Amino acid sequence: MNLRDRIKELANQRKISVAELERALGFGNGSISKWNKQSPSTEKLKQVADYFQVSLDYLVGRSDDKYDLSPQEKIDIGIEAEKMMKGLNDEGSINFYGEPMSEEDKEATLSALNLLMTINRKKAKKKKDMN
């Protein structure tokens, strides 16, 4: 699927036309249609990706993961997971079946929290997109 087709699909999912998208983003009439013959600027691609809340990689066909997280969202998840682990530490030693958790086990738990939060954030994006 080429760039223009992917944008048309995203617009259809939002129940808007490509012309409405162009107006919403301040692009000239028919400018997206020309993108099959001439490459758009990175800034215009970013605007479209932001509008549909998808990654640039998805938009240009480098990924099929429509709900990939932005770098900032990944940072936010890491911060939240760290806060959760700190909260567990502040309430006393983290125990696993009554035994104190090793640093290695704490790192594994933190990684699992990051993964779980990433999956949930992607599900939330998907749910928001379907509404």
Write out pLDDT tens, residues 48-63: 999 998 888 899 988 8
Residue 97: the pLDDT is: 66
Q: Where are the beta strands (DSSP E) in the chain?
A: 95-96, 99-100
- pLDDT higher for 130 or 29? 29
Q: Can you give the C-alpha Rg of the chain in angstroms?
A: 20
| pLDDT band at 41; cut points 50, 70, 90 | very high
Residue 103: the pLDDT is: 80
| 3-state secondary structure (DSSP) of residue 95 | strand
* Range in 18-32, 33-47, 76-90 the model is least confident about: 76-90
| 3-state secondary structure (DSSP) of residue 12 | helix
Residue 6: the pLDDT is: 93
**Does the predicted model carry a pTM greater than 0.85?**
no
Query: What would the mean pLDDT of 15-26 be, rounded to a whole number?
Result: 96
Tens digit of pLDDT for each residue in 66-113? 877 777 888 888 888 888 777 666 656 666 667 777 788 888 888 888
Distances (CA, A) of 108 to 85, 86, 96, 99, 103: 11, 14, 12, 16, 9
pLDDT for residue 121 is more than 60: yes
Share of the chain above pLDDT 90, in %: 34
CA distance 53 to 21: 14
